[in-house]
Amino acid sequence: MSSPASAAPRASRTPWVVLGLLAFEPMSGYDLKSTIENTVGHFWQESYGQLYPTLRSLRAEGLVTMTSEPDGARVRHVYAITDPGRAALMAWLEEQPRATPVRNELLLKVFFASLADAAALRRHLRHALERVDEQRAVLAAIREAIAREPADAHQRRCWTLTVDLGLRNAEAVEAWATQALAELDAEADAGGEARP
Amino acid sequence: MSSPASAAPRASRTPWVVLGLLAFEPMSGYDLKSTIENTVGHFWQESYGQLYPTLRSLRAEGLVTMTSEPDGARVRHVYAITDPGRAALMAWLEEQPRATPVRNELLLKVFFASLADAAALRRHLRHALERVDEQRAVLAAIREAIAREPADAHQRRCWTLTVDLGLRNAEAVEAWATQALAELDAEADAGGEARP
DNA sequence: TTAGTCATGTAAATCGTTACATGATTGG
DNA sequence: CCAATCATGTAACGATTTACATGACTAA
């Protein structure tokens, strides 16, 4: 008795990012993309291929409206959140966040590193340290963008909190990779191997 | 002149997890699933829906072989890595890891928390602290599983390194959430609001 | 004039999860 | 006998990315 598999429930968070940002300010799809990069970009990304279809369906559901503003020969499509949109967003914000599955390719290569040559592991660890610096620069830029934004204290605090965890994670990776490299050096010295 | 979009390049890392584990020991699809959970589960997950099709295509490419071992009335399908499979795996392990996009629903709710009621943010932070404890238990179990495994020192070190970063990340979240809750309390006291 | 950015999207393909389907074995 | 677990998968759907397509505006 095989009834058709009813399959996956709606799980995309894209609508919520969109509604959240539109709750601060009406914007175009293009603006949404760049605002996402400049604010939540260090822990959340969206592509145009997700954004535009999402805007279309949110509009169909009545959670956002679109107005066409003439801009020279072009037309800007500005989206704004509606009252039902705000209500849906609030309800979602109250819900306990679902665990977002973590996938870390660096750790995968570390886990299997004993199958490759010994230099590869060190290389990956040093590369991770370089990326920590880049990440710090990204976080600093976001922090400045927040500082420039006219917003009340509570709003600013919520935004800054996300940067804070980003910094702590960067520190965790830095301490981990540094210690790992030091231990590998110590083991190599003890084993009498040449260090690359 | 619209030639058909050639679309996404092969980006799945599932084949590499499979090849990596089979490089340690031949296994069935079922074994792969549970081994993944017990070893790399804290930073990498795979579903049967990914594993079985991947095993099929790896076999078609000659990177793994399948042997059918009778097991009572059942048949166990045991997969083993081939020499070309090992070569492909080594080459991948040498490559610099691509950045795996991070998506964190908790931070999304924190970022937008000023749009919801003030209690929700505290609730999410407290919930995060609880999940840190669960995560520590998972990591401890994996550490024990590694200790039970007969493996050489270097192999064991690589495996343990992944657990170490997991622990550091857990500490980062704990420190962050604890500090955030304390600061929110201080602000609430200063503002004269009731604390939930 | 040319590079860069603003701006709006679509098409194709792949990635990945969830739910389903099926049946044997094992321990209590 | 029954529940849990071993064991092997597939179907359907939804999520997401990448590449493409198009064109206006702007500053050097």
> What are A173-182's pLDDT values in tens digits?
999 999 999 9
Residue B107 has pLDDT above 90, yes or no: yes
Measure in Å the smallest separation between the Cα of A179 and chain B Cα atoms.
10
* A102:B39 CB<8 A: no
Q: What is the mean pLDDT of residues B132-140?
A: 93
Q: State, as a whole number of angstroms, the distance between the CA of B64 and the C1' of C1.
A: 56
- In terms of pLDDT, which residue wins out, B44 or B145? B44
| A45, A93, A165 ranked by CB distance to B116: nearest | A93
Q: Is B87 on the interface with A (CB under 8 A)?
A: no
User: Residue A139's pLDDT is what?
Assistant: 94
User: Residue B5's pLDDT is what?
Assistant: 37
Residue A6 has pLDDT above 70, yes or no: no
- Helix pair angle (A118-148, A153-191), 10° resolution: 160
- Average pLDDT across chain A, whole number: 90
User: Residue B157's pLDDT is what?
Assistant: 94
* B44:A104 CB<8 A: yes
Share of chain B above pLDDT 70, in %: 92
pLDDT digits (tens, 9 = 90+) for A24-51: 999 999 999 999 999 999 999 999 999 9
Q: Reply yes or no on domain B4-94 having CATH 1.10.10.10.
A: yes
Q: Is A107 on the interface with B (CB under 8 A)?
A: yes
Indicate the domain borders of chain B. Answer: 4-94, 105-190
* Residue A15 binned pLDDT confidence (cut-offs 50, 70, 90): very high
User: Residue A189's pLDDT is what?
Assistant: 74
* Residue B75 binned pLDDT confidence (cut-offs 50, 70, 90): confident
Per the structure, the residue whose CA is closest to nucleotide D11 at C1' is A5
- Name the B residues in 155-194 with CB < 8 Å from any A CB: 155, 157-159, 161-162, 164-165, 168-169, 171-173, 175-176, 179-180, 183-184, 187
Inter-residue long-range contacts of B142-145, CB under 8 Å, 24+ positions, other chains counted: B142/B38, B142/B39, B142/B41, B142/B42, B145/B38, B145/B39
